[in-house]
Amino acid sequence: MIVDLHIHSRYSQACSKYIDFENLEKWARVKGIDVLGTGDFQHPLWRKDIDALEEDEHGILRTKNGFPFIWQTEISLIYTQGGKGRRVHHVILAPNRDVADQITESLGKKGRLDYDGRPIFGFSSIELVDMMSGISKDVEIIPAHVWTPWFAIFGSKSGFNSIEECFKEKAKYIHAIETGMSSDPAMNWRLSKLDNINLVSFSDSHSFWPWRLGREATIIDTELKYKEIINAIRTGKGLKGTIETVPDYGRYHLDGHRSCNVVFDPKESKKYNGICPVCKKPLTIGVLNRVEELADRPEGFKPEGKPEFKKLIPLTELIAKVINIKQLASKKIWNTYNDLIEKFGSEFNILLNVEKKELEEKIGKRLADVIIKNREDKLKIKAGYDGVYGEVILNGKEKSIDKIKPKQKTLGEF
């Protein structure tokens, strides 16, 4: 199963107002995702939408068409620990409606739940573990996008240097961390202190569009039961790997200042002592630099027995580059995307499985070449920094699609 267990509802800040379960199901199927998180289950209005889903005896929620969801939310904790201000995001997974109710009640005693789908609280990560453990041993806490500078357990702006520093004696209850867009498993493997922690990837999607939903995901080989999925995340048994965006593509991979148009790799940042040469203020230190700071192993090291992973740029963005159109929602891009889905079934099937020869026969050599380069991690990426996404760079031979002539379709056809 390809699972994406970190998304948001339309009630979270900076999220599409058109997010609903109909759109989530529709585009998850197009993408090739098998299970989604609900997002924001504690929000009172979104909860009304969730309650329209049917829950089975294994804690799986289903739409009227049978698509499965798992109880999931994300919360933001802002607090002081060790004499430093901390800002950390955590994904929370719950086994059933009853436990989700108890979590909602407990969080409601700590602050408001109605102003944002990702609520902010002033208690610590240690207190969060205490709270969740007191409700159910089946609740899972996963530190979210762990390297992001601003709101993450290892973030350069407000994070910790280890899971143990963050959670103290409660660290034993943390089984997995979310890699985030700007890191991949290979970067995390450089830290020996993470050897006993499983790595998962989820999209943190703020919309249902296929260039966001499932852009990062986890492959799990279990039955579709909450406890079996959680057991895979906790033990690694059944955890088959992750689908990652190329880390350079993430918004915080390198160091820099967006407003000053300054971007540095870690060595260049060190030359300037982490100070922007334009405005003389501290740079936003990115994920690569932070990994280098904490790593105790060389680049390329892989611990024995760790699952493989795939690095992929979403199909929509590949099409946009080949057609040379920046607006992802343009009619030309949608027409091409829809035609590809009609030919091959789902986006992940196209990106991961369809043979090169078949791609060339049905969509032309130029787009096929870019899809295969993407699959083989051979695309050139201009790295992201300080909130700016990275960018795929194509050579002159890959500027336009030659063969595919998509039909005129509306978005509703899928």
Q: What is the dihedral of CA 275, 276, 281, 286, to 10 degrees?
A: -70
- Residues 107-138: pLDDT tens digits? 999 999 999 999 999 999 999 999 999 999 99
pLDDT of residue 395: 72
Secondary structure (3-state) at 307: coil
Query: What SS3 string covers 361-405?
Result: HHHCHHHHHHHHHHHCCCCEEECCECCECCEEECCHHHCCCCCCC
pLDDT tens-place string over residues 55-90: 999 999 999 999 999 999 999 999 999 999 999 999
CA atoms within 13 A on the CB side of 206: 7
Residue in the block written with tokens 């989820």: 202
Quote the pLDDT of residue 235.
Answer: 98
C-alpha to C-alpha distance for 147 and 153, rounded to whole angstroms: 7
Per-residue pLDDT band at 346 (split at 50, 70, 90): very high
Say if residue 412's pLDDT is above 50. no
Question: How confident is residue 405, by pLDDT bands cut at 50, 70 and 90?
Answer: very low
Find out whether 265 and 254 touch, Cβ atoms under 8 Å: yes
**CB neighbour list of residue 325: distance below 8 Å, 6 or more residues apart:** 332, 333
Is the separation of the CB atoms in 107 and 134 below 8 Å?
no
Which of 243, 374, 250 shows the shortest CA–CA distance to 310? 243
The pair of structure tokens assigned to 149 is 């500078």
The Cα-based distances of 380 to 70, 390, 393 in angstroms read 36, 10, 5
pTM for the model stands at 0.94
Contact 35, 56 (CB under 8 A): no
Domains located in the chain, CATH noted: 2-249 (3.20.20.140), 314-413 (no CATH)
Three-state DSSP class for residue 283? coil
Q: What is the pLDDT of residues 126-177, one digit of tens each?
A: 999 999 999 999 999 999 999 999 999 999 999 999 999 999 999 999 999 9
